[in-house]
């Protein structure tokens, strides 16, 4: 029902910045919270950041808090992840996710989200 497409990934040096975008189409009005997850080689997928539909509340993993900023523009049906002070350990495929059904659990849980993008690669060189 909701299609998500990530963009903005790339290769940057340690300390650099990138801004990821997630464009949503379809029944975007049914999207409640949205979030970003990432998966590094040989690692499990992990929570990065989440935002409620109206942008009033945001949530961050401890590993990125203070460096990453999540935002959304509902008029443009787009969510963003501004990543500053990037570290090699931030290297991963980043996935956009959207919640389209009722869920009362943690924003950190992947089970909250029903729709997923295909991912965009972020590589941070030493």
Region 88-101 average pLDDT: 96
Coil, strand or helix at 28: helix
Report the alpha-carbon angle 34-36-39, nearest 5: 150
For residue 8, the model assigns a pLDDT of 97
Backbone angles phi, psi at 89, to 5 degrees: -70, -10
Which residues does residue 38 pair with via DSSP β-bridges, in sequence order?
46, 94
> What is the structure's pLDDT at 29?
56
Compute the average pLDDT of residues 94-116. Answer: 93
Span 92-107, average pLDDT? 93
31, pLDDT greater than 70:
no
User: Mean pLDDT across the chain, nearest whole number?
Assistant: 93
Structure tokens at 19: 């801004």
Q: Is the pLDDT of residue 60 over 90?
A: yes
């Amino acid at each position: 029902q909701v299609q998500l497409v990530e963009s903005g990934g790339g290769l940057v040096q340690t300390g650099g910045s990138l801004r990821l975008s997630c464009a949503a189409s379809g029944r975007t009005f049914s999207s409640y919270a949205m979030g970003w997850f990432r998966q590094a080689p040989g690692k499990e997928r992990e929570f990065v950041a989440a935002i409620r539909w109206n942008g009033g509340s945001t949530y961050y993993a401890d590993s990125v808090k203070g460096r990453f900023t999540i935002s959304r523009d509902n008029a443009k049906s787009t969510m963003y992840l501004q990543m500053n002070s990037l570290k090699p350990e931030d290297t991963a495929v980043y996935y956009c996710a959207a919640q389209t059904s009722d869920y009362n659990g943690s924003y950190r849980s992947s089970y909250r989200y029903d729709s997923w993008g295909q991912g965009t690669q972020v590589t941070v060189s030493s």
